[in-house]
Structure 1
Amino acid sequence: MIYVTVGTQLPFARLIKAVNDIAAEKGLDVFAQVGPDKSHYHAIKTADFVGPEDANRLIHEADLVIAHAGMGTIISASQLGKPLIIMPRQFHYGEHRNDHQLATANRFRDFPNITVVEDKRSLSEAMDSRLEQADGPPLGVVPEYAPDSFIAELKKLLV
């Protein structure tokens, strides 16, 4: 199962339409949290809102997570070692107030569990690649808290 999330504040039709088209073409099982998007998507299951507990469960159960460049999803997928494809919202498409999601995506571009895409073609290619790797070794899990040794070194600096 593929879990897609775009957050709850704004719709992200460019991403959801692309996922819907790809799912229809490839017969993929997709559940998408679409925010305040009133469009109809025929090839995927959708919900406007998914609560935190259900979102964590869906990320845990997913073979692949696809999202806007929101920190909550980046952190959650990384903590569970899930492959994540992010497509940042872009200001010039009217998808957000500025391009902070491009900056976020660029910051995480080199993380082993994260693939950054810009358009439907690169999304489709990334989905193929990540789904082929689903049966491979698990990705590294990012711990929720910094290691004790790191905290000890920080304390030395602050004393």
Structure 2
Amino acid sequence: MIFVTVGHELRFDRLIRGLDEWVKETSYKDIFAQVAELGDEGYKPRNFEWQSFLDPETFKARFDKADLIVAHAGMGTIITALTMKKPLLIMPRKGALKETRNDHQIATAEQFARRNGIYVANDETELGSVLDQLITNPPPIIKEAASEFAEPQLIQTIRGFIYDGKAPKNV
């Protein structure tokens, strides 16, 4: 099952429209999306089941059940996918399109694209082909969950900077 989430603050019409078109073309059926509040002008998918908002328990249940997560490049979703060992396809929001305040999600996607289990569609034109690839060749099982907490070395480096003014090495 594919679970799609765009976060709860802002709709992400490009992602949802791209998925809707892909589902229509492929007839893929096992997909559910949390699409945020759409208002009068937001894109409402016609080819898969969706809701604007999910309570935390339902969100977690959908996340648990999913074989693949598709999302914006938001850190909350990325961290959740890594800690739950779920393969994740991200498509970053773009500041130039006023989907977010700047291009931080593009930078996030570039950084996490190097990590096992995270796949990137840079825009809606790449979304279908990346999904086709992941459906045809399912990603390998992620064996080790990421820690929910920062590594001790990172915490120590931050403490050193805050308390002693020591700049981190190799930054």
Mark yes or no: TM-score above 0.5.
Answer: yes
Of residues 69, 76, 100 in structure 1, which corresponds to 2:73? 69
Alignment of 1:7-156 (within 5 A): 7-28=7-28, 29-37=30-38, 38-134=42-138, 137-140=140-143, 141-145=145-149, 150=152, 154=156
Distance in 2 between the 1:90 and 1:102 partners? 7
Gaps of at least 5 residues in structure 1 are none
Aligned identity (percent) is: 38
Q: Which amino acid aligns with 1:124?
A: G
Contact 1:63 1:131 in 2 (8 A): no
Larger radius of gyration: 2
* Deviations 1:59-98 (CA, angstroms, capped at 9, x unpaired): 1111110000111110111111111010010011121111
Give every structure 1 segment of 4 or more consecutive aligned residues whose post-TM-superposition deviation is greater than 6 Å.
none
TM-score normalised by the chain length of structure 1: 0.85
Q: Which amino acid counterpart does residue 31 of structure 1 have in structure 2?
A: F
Does the 8 A contact of 2:17 with 2:43 survive in 1?
no
Task: Tell me the distance in 2 between the aligned counterparts of 1:41 and 1:137.
Answer: 29
So what's the TM-score if we normalise by structure 2? 0.80
